[in-house]
Structure 1
């Protein structure tokens, strides 16, 4: 059985020490306390060579990170293990096999892109959903990626074996192997991945034992990369099946929503977007006219007072500024908000400059937002409009004090 297919393994704990690890939790980095464990030997691949690490368990304790330190693999777990204790490792096979397919797929694409078009690979990334290969070319010619995709899938259908060899660092064969160089802390023999008749490459990662295990490779396209490079985007194996399933489910939903067949989806969405733009333009015109009418209505009231407040769900900054300018805020305190009634939104506070300078920071605090202002106008974003009534009460109280001549 190839080592990459070894799913369980019994070994012993060499060391276990307290540690902290930064983990990504829905896009946010958070520190987690646990233990770094070094084992006598391991079947869990440590992160490196463009490939993420394996996950699995040590005695049913989840291994959430495996990092390489020199010749050692360091396993991060939540609980301590006694040094010298015999333990059982298990590999998360679904994650392992996915990485094997993507990594071997990268080797195959890299080799044929070089042989067919002379495009060298300068780096690659194994992503969570799709992978990318950085090619040393500013652009690719029309038809080349289609030809490359045909070529790699032909090799998959040919059932080409993939073999692993270990060479000593002074072996003459090392010079014949494709490589981007060894890490500074490399130790031990050099591992060679040999795709028979196609590619021989220095690599530490996990790979399939036959190209047929890749099932299929789909080149999704290319993107402009950094420094005159081109990024080739691809998926291999089970990811292609998942991509097809997801695309089909999306297609079914769009068919239901748009009431058109899949071939007409693009035209239907294009028509919808144009209709929405026209409606948005009309809506903006209506809002502007409404703002003028609102201001004129307030000004026409004989007993209007010197405080005006309004909330409009569909307004924007221009809507609020039109109202403030039309009313005039030299002698009137104006408080305007737009957005969800108790959610996030925008606000504008206008009035005599000394009043706004005093009350602006307090209004921002109540609305849990941020803003700035000058010349009697203070506006910004509100994270919550739930305390809008409290702001109104504060401003009305201040307005009454001004009317009574207390200021």
Structure 2
């Protein structure tokens, strides 16, 4: 594979001829959901839109102002998926989404640099990597642990090389038997590989087979930040990193969070962990106290009803901040004194309900109450319970229950 985007990753526009256009269906992730989209697969004589491969996602861009939704590889060809057809043989103009492309170039070259230095300095080989989706990237290293001291040293080595501005050069080998390309680091060629073999060289640091797009100088990475390690697959760690513009964006987000927490916690950055921990503990203590009081109130509500000499034939009660346990406590305390119709949540919206009483009442009036409240639930243990979507209709449900009790 030797596409224009691989020969010169800085190209943003190109003219090429349409070789084929076929009606196809493609599965895409749109708004976090997988969807099947009807469209067309375009193959061009050449392209500046990189097809997914080597751990790098595909590019985005346009062909004749038509958005390209997916770019995949088929042999030595790039297949562009679009929603509108383009005539075969037509000369078309291509434009790449440069912001996405340059981000991928920075992260991918950064990965090569980190991987090469991690192996040469510590003997930690890279087994896979993930570029991420505009956030953090990670490299899977063949080591069960990595110390903070090693991470700090590796980060310094990477940024030293960036300051040297070492050149990054792709080289094509057209002969598979050429012994020179076999000197490069390689986990093997893909089974369907055709065309020239591409080797990426970082001056004096690394020589590695790679099909992706890269910067031409380590200076274009700007800086690398190693964020730490997460536990990876068996006996491996994932080394998290950000490069270039992502690092600037990440730092900006971190500062915005720090500024917000400074106002919320009323303390500087170095004290925010302790302040946040204290705030969480206080909140948990307050929640525990509130729950205790809520349970006590449930018992009190039931006792007040039972002690009332003029109590109603139906105990109907609503508490916005109540929960299932609150309703169960009341129903248990009321016992056989009267049927219970209890609700919690937004009085004009949705919430929980509980209905208990004689089996006859549950069998004959329970379903009516469910329909009036537009509820979903079930009856078990002598209690009807579930979620109500229209608590505003509770007065109508109460009347149905009162009418049934009066007729019984």
Q: Report the TM-score, using the length of structure 1 for normalisation.
A: 0.91
1:263 paired with 2:266, answer no
Counterpart in the other structure of 2:84: 79
Match of 1:21, SS state, is strand
Pick aligned residue for 2:231 from 221, 224, 227: 224
Identify if the C-alpha distance between structure 1 residues 44 and 358 changes in structure 2 by more than 3 Å, giving closer, same or farther. farther
By how many angstroms is 1:392 displaced? 4.9
Counterpart in the other structure of 2:396: 393
Matches within 5 A, 1:322-401: 322-328=329-335, 332-353=338-359, 355-356=361-362, 370-382=376-388, 384=389, 387-394=390-397, 396-401=399-404
Report if the CA contact (8 A) 1:309-1:392 is conserved.
no
Matches within 5 A, 1:201-280: 201-280=208-287
Q: Deviations over 1:22-61 (max 9, x none)?
A: 3333322233332221112111001111111111111111
Pick aligned residue for 1:124 from 129, 138, 141: 129
Choose 91-100 or 1-10, whichever is displaced more.
1-10
1:310 paired with 2:313, answer no
Choose 396-405 or 314-323, whichever is displaced more.
396-405
1:41 paired with 2:50, answer no
By how many angstroms is 1:109 displaced? 0.7
Report if the CA contact (8 A) 2:18-2:88 is conserved.
yes
Identify if the C-alpha distance between structure 1 residues 343 and 215 changes in structure 2 by more than 3 Å, giving closer, same or farther. farther
Distance in 2 of aligned mates of 1:180 and 1:365? 64
Pick aligned residue for 1:23 from 7, 20, 28: 28
By how many angstroms is 1:185 displaced? 1.7
By how many angstroms is 1:353 displaced? 3.7
By how many angstroms is 1:354 displaced? 5.0
Distance in 1 of aligned mates of 2:151 and 2:22? 49
Identify if the C-alpha distance between structure 1 residues 172 and 356 changes in structure 2 by more than 3 Å, giving closer, same or farther. farther
Pick aligned residue for 1:60 from 59, 65, 80: 65
Match of 2:9, SS state, is helix
Report if the CA contact (8 A) 2:372-2:396 is conserved.
no
Identify if the C-alpha distance between structure 1 residues 357 and 70 changes in structure 2 by more than 3 Å, giving closer, same or farther. farther
Choose 345-354 or 222-231, whichever is displaced more.
345-354
By how many angstroms is 1:381 displaced? 4.4
- Number of equivalenced pairs: 401
Distance in 2 of aligned mates of 1:108 and 1:334? 70
Match of 2:87, SS state, is coil
Distance in 2 of aligned mates of 1:109 and 1:190? 23
Distance in 2 of aligned mates of 1:271 and 1:305? 47
Distance in 1 of aligned mates of 2:352 and 2:73? 49
Structure 1 portions without partners, runs of 5+: none
Distance in 2 of aligned mates of 1:212 and 1:59? 34
By how many angstroms is 1:258 displaced? 2.6
Distance in 1 of aligned mates of 2:52 and 2:213? 11
Match of 1:42, SS state, is coil
Counterpart in the other structure of 1:288: 295
Match of 2:58, SS state, is coil
Distance in 1 of aligned mates of 2:73 and 2:206? 26
Choose 393-402 or 198-207, whichever is displaced more.
393-402
Distance in 2 of aligned mates of 1:79 and 1:173? 44
Distance in 1 of aligned mates of 2:50 and 2:342? 58
Match of 2:106, SS state, is helix
Distance in 1 of aligned mates of 2:39 and 2:93? 19
Q: Report the TM-score, using the length of structure 2 for normalisation.
A: 0.91
Match of 1:172, SS state, is coil
By how many angstroms is 1:144 displaced? 0.8
Match of 1:143, SS state, is helix
Identify if the C-alpha distance between structure 1 residues 240 and 283 changes in structure 2 by more than 3 Å, giving closer, same or farther. same
Identify if the C-alpha distance between structure 1 residues 401 and 339 changes in structure 2 by more than 3 Å, giving closer, same or farther. closer
Pick aligned residue for 1:136 from 139, 142, 150: 142
Report if the CA contact (8 A) 1:164-1:193 is conserved.
yes
Report if the CA contact (8 A) 1:307-1:396 is conserved.
no
Identify if the C-alpha distance between structure 1 residues 371 and 122 changes in structure 2 by more than 3 Å, giving closer, same or farther. farther
Identify if the C-alpha distance between structure 1 residues 370 and 404 changes in structure 2 by more than 3 Å, giving closer, same or farther. closer
Distance in 1 of aligned mates of 2:367 and 2:129? 50
